[in-house]
Structure 1
């Protein structure tokens, strides 16, 4: 059997392709964008080939969601990657995670004025969707202990005791701090939330991207009891660079929860993405090889950044990376305001994400996306090095 390989070093010019990353964030080539969380790599060749077949048909009329093929591909993926048996009945389609799954789940299980608990510093779109849905945000801030983030379980106990807190929204693995939560940590979270009647929704879109023996634990797999009381939402978009298709899914083993979701889905009169569904199915059925090579390439880029910081600006701290292609870097030693910190990168010709976007405890931090060709990353680091030396920052 031929083993497929992917050339992650292949240059792909995304300027003037209506790319949010390169045309908006990077201002059409003015800056090197290391911000928004997509990659600069082509998707796997089997996905491209499948999409060509769909395009060549020439008819792009209303589709009919291939629920069995769709659900089966996801079940296959969970078995191949995590050794888990997932029932096809548990799988539901959603039009993206934030604009689709999360919005519908909030509508299904909460009402305006309810509180949603999040764990900052955390993915900023959580805030956008929660507030947009008319719900209130409560925070259970992560603690930085010896260079590694941990959950504050005592605070979680206090916050979930508030009867207005209806949902804990977990990022597993965590964006931006790169933690892969252990089974023991997830079990403790579950027991606290169960005691206080708080529903857990776990965003696991980065679950395939792990390093150095770290193992992603799908939240619903931690125990038989948890299996029926936790909702997981995910998508292949981060792993295979398919974000524009807005094709995602929700795993709900509890039929009562599925029924509530189905009512909301029906009320929104959502359809599905004709191309995106085939990209999802093909990725999960045929493209294991891509993920393994992808993670190896990303880890090489992570090591390049770590070496750069160690040799060029050792006062900057790198939060140890267990997952995601988003590095969380601590620049507090520079004693700059957040405005000054962001302007330093902009003046160097590189765009990164402002740590304050992820919560007040992101002050002094930046998020850096290393999912680009190594040559692009090295060019960006060279620009940063020149700016650092010219400004004589210590």
Structure 2
């Protein structure tokens, strides 16, 4: 392997939300916040270092051609989708930039946005903080798997003032890669009801089990006004703090509406972050292949360990990314007690209830760390599992 994913990097004291905040300065092992503990690719480090060594950080002039070409190349090589340069716009992050600007461009206060819990918690926060209304189309959970409730979805899309279906594609935290048939059905229902689809594709580079990933860009017709896509290399290459993302909008009128919002608020771009994005997409395909191999190894190890040593926990192999969605109902603990159970083990995980009101028995666990740290965390959880007496039951 070119990149050493086993390298232990001490992030304590680096102003890391994951380690200094969630992990309380290393007091706890943080397996919640969804960034990786891996260095970015060496090519990205060199590109950013070159900019830093140049030493002048005046106002930048956005490198449109290099930026657009990098994204076009990435989608072409990795997703077999041909994107026009004119369809791409920069965004200062996904939640803090793209989604917020989509809501401003395409909705009015009081309008409704349908989400599909359990789903990324920030969706609802951004919607409601922007004076829009989040409407739940809860996913059906059966035998360890989640499915879309299309009957309920159709009812929700017919509601007055529903303007958007916000889809997590692939889905976080449940680890689902939506099948093309499911996506077409969502798309058709939205077209029938004149509802826009916003597809968050930030986890699309990390697909497991040889499953195909399909973007909504493959389904929508040319210049269709019912689909927009947002994406970023931040999850794949661990570049979240650069807040450099992008949107893909085929419809010219909607593209202009988005760009007008960007201009209205006089947003600028992240000088170093855009260079990191361009370099990652142009030169670091190998990193993604190696990252996915390492993540699959960690997922295999985690699931085997849980099945063997923590049998009251239920977990399915995720279709995507580096997040395990673990059903803890077998422990018989309340949400507060469940949080205490993991904290007592010296590990922080994400509370499932933040992703949907019916997910309080679940936790989300991030396994994108070194194998050594992952083993330590699981062993600590097992010690507490045995201490609680679950081993005897």
Same fold (TM over 0.5): yes
8 Å Cα contact 2:89-2:247 kept in structure 1? yes
1:29-49, Cα deviation, whole Å (9 max, x unpaired): 100000000000000000000
The residue that corresponds to 1:267 in the other structure is 264
Q: How much does 1:303 deviate?
A: 0.8
Q: How much does 1:222 deviate?
A: 1.9
8 Å Cα contact 2:223-2:251 kept in structure 1? no
Asked if residue 374 in structure 1 is aligned to residue 371 in structure 2, the reply is yes
Q: Provide the rounded CA distance (Å) in 1 between the counterparts of 2:337 and 2:37.
A: 28
1:357-384, Cα deviation, whole Å (9 max, x unpaired): 1011212000000000010000001110
Asked if residue 80 in structure 1 is aligned to residue 77 in structure 2, the reply is yes
Query: Out of 49, 53, 72, which is 1:52 matched to?
Result: 49
1:77-121, Cα deviation, whole Å (9 max, x unpaired): 000101111000000000000000000000000001001100000
Query: Out of 36, 41, 45, which is 2:33 matched to?
Result: 36
The residue that corresponds to 1:349 in the other structure is 346
The residue that corresponds to 1:180 in the other structure is 177
- Partner of 1:202, secondary structure, is strand
1:110-156, Cα deviation, whole Å (9 max, x unpaired): 00100110000000001111011000110000111221111111100
Q: How much does 1:225 deviate?
A: 5.4
Q: Summarize the alignment of residues 217-232 of structure 1 with structure 2, pairs less than 5 Å apart.
A: 217-224=214-221, 228-232=225-229
**Unpaired segments ≥5 residues, structure 2:** none
1:255-300, Cα deviation, whole Å (9 max, x unpaired): 0110110111111110000000000000000000000110010011
Instruction: Indicate the RMSD between aligned Cα atoms, in angstroms.
Output: 1.0
1:49-70, Cα deviation, whole Å (9 max, x unpaired): 0011000000011101101110
The residue that corresponds to 1:326 in the other structure is 323
The residue that corresponds to 2:168 in the other structure is 171
TM-score, normalisation: structure 2: 0.98
The residue that corresponds to 1:234 in the other structure is 231
Distance 1:152 1:233, change over 3 A: same
- Partner of 1:224, secondary structure, is coil
1:288-315, Cα deviation, whole Å (9 max, x unpaired): 0000110010011111110111111212
Asked if residue 255 in structure 1 is aligned to residue 252 in structure 2, the reply is yes
- Partner of 2:69, secondary structure, is helix
8 Å Cα contact 1:220-1:227 kept in structure 2? no
Distance 1:223 1:106, change over 3 A: closer
Q: How much does 1:320 deviate?
A: 2.9
Q: How much does 1:223 deviate?
A: 4.3
Query: Out of 95, 99, 102, which is 1:102 matched to?
Result: 99
Larger deviation, residues 237-246 vs 139-148: 139-148
- Partner of 1:368, secondary structure, is strand
Asked if residue 207 in structure 1 is aligned to residue 228 in structure 2, the reply is no
Q: Provide the rounded CA distance (Å) in 1 between the counterparts of 2:91 and 2:45.
A: 22
